[in-house]
Amino acid sequence: MNFTKVKRFMPIIIGIVLLGAFIGYRIVDNIAENKIRAKNLAESNITSVQTEPVGRRDITPQMIFSAGLEPVWSTDISAKVDGRIETMYVNEGDLVKAGTVVATLDGGDLAGQVMQAEGNLLAAESNFEQAQLDYNRYSELANAGAISMQVLDNARTKRDAAYGQVQNAKGSLGLVKEKEKNLNIIVPRDGVVTKRHLQAGAFVRSGAPLITVADTETLLAKATIGESQAAGLKIGASVKVQIDALGGKAVNGMITMISPVAQLPARTFTADVTIDNSDGILKGGMFAKVEIPVATKGQVLAVPENSIILREDQPSVFVIDEEGRANQRLIQVGGTGGGYAEVIEGLNEGEQVVTGGQHKLRDGMKVLVGAGGDAQ
């Protein structure tokens, strides 16, 4: 009877055993999968970075100042008399030579005024010549006792008045001729027309600018520097000037002026850097960075500039420890030059600092170190 019951429940027992075996298999399999998943997750959290050892090298620090480019000289060409612009001979961008007539004002009846003034002068000179002849004749008669001294004095007065009329006529003629001359607007020196303020037909007042002319073959970069930096600058020193608008293109420049007196209240100085622009590539108003080298520091502890990141506005680097973890460390830096920064405090020679991938790191993260550089 017992055997019969067992036989009856055998399929159930077998099913339970098989179910248990299947469940056990799935549990083991899930544990294995979880281990693999955990391993893959751990590996995915490891960031690949590039490093370079802290080493010693020569550094020539660079002082960098922002500046705007401007012509070495620029001047407004103005009218000297009131008048309507009859003709404009130049446009913006035109090259002009000293003495070039760039515009002409309408003289109106000025030509007639010149002719009248010339006629007045001729008449005055004729009157003076006659008055002089009369005086000479009366003088001879007075010496002979033929006329009274009163008559001679009257002749002298008439002659002197005629002479005064000649001088007045000359002055009037000079004024109208100068006015006629000023109808032609002339540039005083070679340059480029950088601005045309008025068009033909416009009325211009005396002293108002018609055009602006500048020397663009030589440009100035005016850098504002602090009093502590001014002491390290020398007139005649060669510098590099990087032009942002030209993709950071560097051109050569020379310090030609350092202001002798600080500008208050900031106590800053202005340094003029002269740049040759004979090829015309540079334009006034472009933004530039002036790089001024100072004395080279020999074999100082240094790290690549691209390894330095800011933490709470303080320079820091990620240092790789023996366990392959990246630890962020504050450092004190000195001068920079040639892509490297002097380390004054915070690192030891030979330590590996992260030079690539550091912006993805957090303090204490596990990293995979790739190829790095060598200190020189």
- Distance from C-alpha of 114 to C-alpha of 60, rounded to nearest angstrom: 70
Residue among 74, 299, 308 nearest 187 (CA):
74
Instruction: Say whether pLDDT at 329 is over 70.
Output: yes
* Local confidence band at 36 (pLDDT 50, 70, 90 cut-offs): low
Any idea which of 17-26, 77-86, 248-257, 306-315 has the lowest mean pLDDT? 17-26
- Give, for 47, the enclosing helix (H) or strand (E): strand 47-53
What whole-number distance in Å separates Cα of residue 98 and Cα of residue 169? 33
Terminal-to-terminal C-alpha distance of the chain: 95
Strand, helix or coil for residue 279: coil
Strands 191-196 and 203-204: unpaired
Whether the per-residue pLDDT at 8 is higher than 70: the answer is no
Give the tens place of pLDDT for each residue, 37-69: 544 444 456 788 999 999 999 988 777 888 889
What DSSP string describes 70-135?
A: EEEEEEEEE-SS-EEEEEE---TT-EE-TT-EEEEE--TTHHHHHHHHHHHHHHHHHHHHHHHHHH
CB 107 within 8 Å of CB 263: no
Model pLDDT for residues 179-198, shown as the tens digit of each residue? 778 889 999 999 999 999 99
Give tens-digit pLDDT for 96-130.
999 999 999 987 776 677 788 889 889 989 999 99
Give pLDDT, residue 376: 40
- Which helix (H) or strand (E) is 274 found in, with range? strand 268-276
Mean pLDDT, to the nearest integer, of 155-173? 91
Q: Give the model confidence (pLDDT) of 70-102 as tens digits.
A: 998 999 999 988 889 999 999 999 999 999 999
Between CA 90 and CA 102 the distance in angstroms is 6
Residues 6+ apart with CB under 8 A from 48: 357, 367, 368, 369, 370
pLDDT at 372: 44
pLDDT of 12 higher than 80: no
Q: Are 149 and 67 in contact (CB under 8 A)?
A: no
Residue 184 C-alpha from the chain's centroid: 35
Strand partners, 197: none
Q: Which residue has the higher pLDDT, 22 or 375?
A: 22
Q: Of 5, 72, 18, 23, whose CA–CA distance to 273 is shortest?
A: 72
pLDDT of 366 above 80: yes
Mean pLDDT on 11-21: 62
Cβ neighbours for 26, distance < 8 A, ≥ 6 positions apart: none
